[in-house]
Every structure is written in structure tokens, then in C-alpha cells.
Amino acid sequence: MNAIVFLIQCSDQKGLLAGITGFFSQREYNILHCQQYTDVLEGQYFMRVKLEDAGQLDQVELEQQFKRYADSLGLNWSVRYSAQPYRVALLVTKASHCPYDLLLRELEGELSCDIPLIIGNHTDLEKMAKQFDKPFYHLPITKNTKPQQEAQIKALLAEYQIDLVVMARYMQILSEQFVEEFSGRVINIHHGFLPAFQGAKPYHQAYDRGVKIIGATSHYATADLDEGPIIEQDIQRVKHDNSPEDLVMIGKDIERLVLARAVKAHIEHRIIISGRRTVVFSEGG
């Protein structure tokens, strides 16, 4: 069954639920799932509504009619159609655990998306790409060649019509221009429980501080390193006798799960970015 998912954000006002659901009901859409959230501190309203797509209106007409309605109420909105799966590009370096996990989930149908290419700044994961029958593009980078390398990445993203870029332990900092151009469409996994322990070696920082909990964070990439809106986090208790290497190994399992959950939420159109925060609607619809 094909579905249509609308995400809606606006200033809170009376009658929004009745009005929006009424709009779809009047056009004979069956509402499969509806979630809403009101941020009373900021006076903002958020909604996710999933409709059965039985061909009542074509996409252009539906969006034109909803735009007229939305404009009258000041709604910010976006829409996705399940018949058009997300196309996801993986950026990788040397660590295989996160990209391998995403590729396996795509293969087994746990992620309803297409991963048509993998881009790496080293060749270490080319064998992994071949194992999953994915084209691998080796685009090495130095301090002096970064603009040219990112231009090559952008060209590939355009060629493959990519909707979402996943930094699957891609150990490079994307330029401000890149993340602004792809704002809200680049997901990163940080091997630390942000906002604590930013930077390249968070597990070693955690060991030095003797923490009893470590974690991982998936967030949207922004110009400010490790400061983007957080999508998903998880933690694991550790002990005083765990070495930094132990923490790295424990952390790998957390990273896999956290990144997969974040990507799944994005491709299921369950996330609204609101300033530095995100509203992530629950699974089930």
C-alpha cells in the first residue's frame, strides 16, 4: 500500500487538528496515522499525518490545493510519497561497522530506502561495497584539495539523485558551504554522548574523566562541528576497569543502533527540525 506523509509546523492556534484532518477527509483520503505535539513554551504546533494513497489526486494537484490551505494558516509543511523511496549516499573513511550495518538493513528491508553509491576518502571499504554490489568512489582529500573533492561529491549526489547523505563514520569535516547547501539532508554519527566529549577521540576523553556511562549521538550536520540538531542518542554503562579500547568496542554497537534509528526516522519522514532541536515522531505509522 502506497502512503503519503505530511509534516506540518506552525504557530499554535485553535482548530488545527480538526481543520487539517478535515482538509484530507473532504478529499476522501483515509488517515492511517496522526500524531501531534504542542510546544507550549515556544507556542509551536507540530503534526505528522499519514494518508493512504489511493490516487484521489495526483501529486501536483494535491500539493497545490494543500499549499493554498496552508498559506491561509501560515503552515510550514513538507510531504513524502512512499512510492518514491529515499535515495541515500554513504560517506565513509575506514571504519566499517556503521556503513556495513546500514547496508545490511537495506538488504533485509529494515530500511525502506535505496543506497546506490558509497563515497570514501580511503579505499579500505571498497571490498565492503563490492560485497553489497554497490559502486564505490574513492575521492581522496587533503587540506589543499578539499574544495575540489567536495565538488566531486556534489556532482555524484546530483548524478545519483540523492535525497539524504549519511556520514557513516566519515572522519572529515564538511565545509560550511556544503552543509548549508544540503541543510537538513546530512546525518552524522558522533561516537560520544553530545554535548559532552566533542572532537575526534571522545572515548578516550570519557576514560580520562572516569565516566560510568558512554553513548553515541546522531545529528544533522551543520557548520558548527558536533552542534547540529540531535536526532537520536543511546548509552551503555561501563566500569572503572574498562580500558579506552574497551570503550571503543562497546561504543561501536551503540553507534550502529543510533545511526540506524536516525536514518530510519528521516526516511520515514518523522523528523521536524525546530531551531537547534528536533521533534521526532514515534514509529508505528
pLDDT by residue (tens digit) across 249-284?
Answer: 998 999 999 999 999 999 999 999 999 999 999 987
CATH number of domain containing 151: 3.40.50.170
Percent of the chain with pLDDT over 90: 81
Q: What is the pLDDT of residues 17-49, one digit of tens each?
A: 999 999 999 999 999 999 999 999 999 999 999
Q: Structure pTM?
A: 0.93
User: Could you say which of 81, 107, 122 is where a domain stops?
Assistant: 81
What residue ranges in 93-170 does DSSP mark as E strands? Answer: 113-120, 136-138, 164-167
Does residue 39 carry a catalytic annotation? no
Shortest CA distance to 99 belongs to which of 268, 220, 255?
255
Asked if residue 106 and residue 55 are part of one domain, the reply reads: no
| Domain presence at residue 161 | yes
User: What's the pLDDT score for residue 199?
Assistant: 66
Asked if residue 91 and residue 73 are part of one domain, the reply reads: no
**Are the C-beta atoms of residues 273 and 260 closer than 8 Å to each other?**
no
Asked if residue 178 and residue 41 are part of one domain, the reply reads: no
The number of domains in the chain is 2
User: What's the pLDDT score for residue 204?
Assistant: 80
Q: Span 80-85, mean pLDDT? A: 94
CATH number of domain containing 77: 3.30.70.260
β-sheet with 76-81: strand ranges across:
31-39, 44-52, 3-11, 76-81
Q: What is the pLDDT of residues 196-214, one digit of tens each?
A: 666 667 778 878 888 888 8
Strands 113-120 and 86-92, how do they pair?
parallel
User: What's the pLDDT score for residue 252?
Assistant: 93
| Domain presence at residue 285 | no
For residue 282, count other CB atoms closer than 10 A to its CB: 10
Classify burial at 185, counting beta carbons within 10 Å of its beta carbon; exposed 0-12, middle 13-18, buried 19 or more: middle
Q: Which residues, in sequence order, are CB contacts of 17 under 8 Å at separation 6+?
A: 34, 36, 47
Structural domain boundaries enclosing 42: 3-81
Residue 155 has pLDDT above 70, yes or no: yes
Asked if residue 259 and residue 169 are part of one domain, the reply reads: yes
Asked if residue 251 and residue 193 are part of one domain, the reply reads: yes
Percent of the chain with pLDDT over 70: 97
User: What's the pLDDT score for residue 200?
Assistant: 65
Out of 53, 101, 163, 226, pick the active-site residue: 226
What residue ranges in the chain does DSSP mark as E strands? Answer: 3-11, 31-39, 44-52, 76-81, 86-92, 113-120, 136-138, 164-167, 186-190, 213-220, 230-237, 271-274, 277-280
Residue 266's alpha-carbon distances to 7, 62, 144, 270, in angstroms, are 12, 22, 33, 6
Asked if residue 12 and residue 134 are part of one domain, the reply reads: no
Q: Span 143-160, mean pLDDT? A: 95
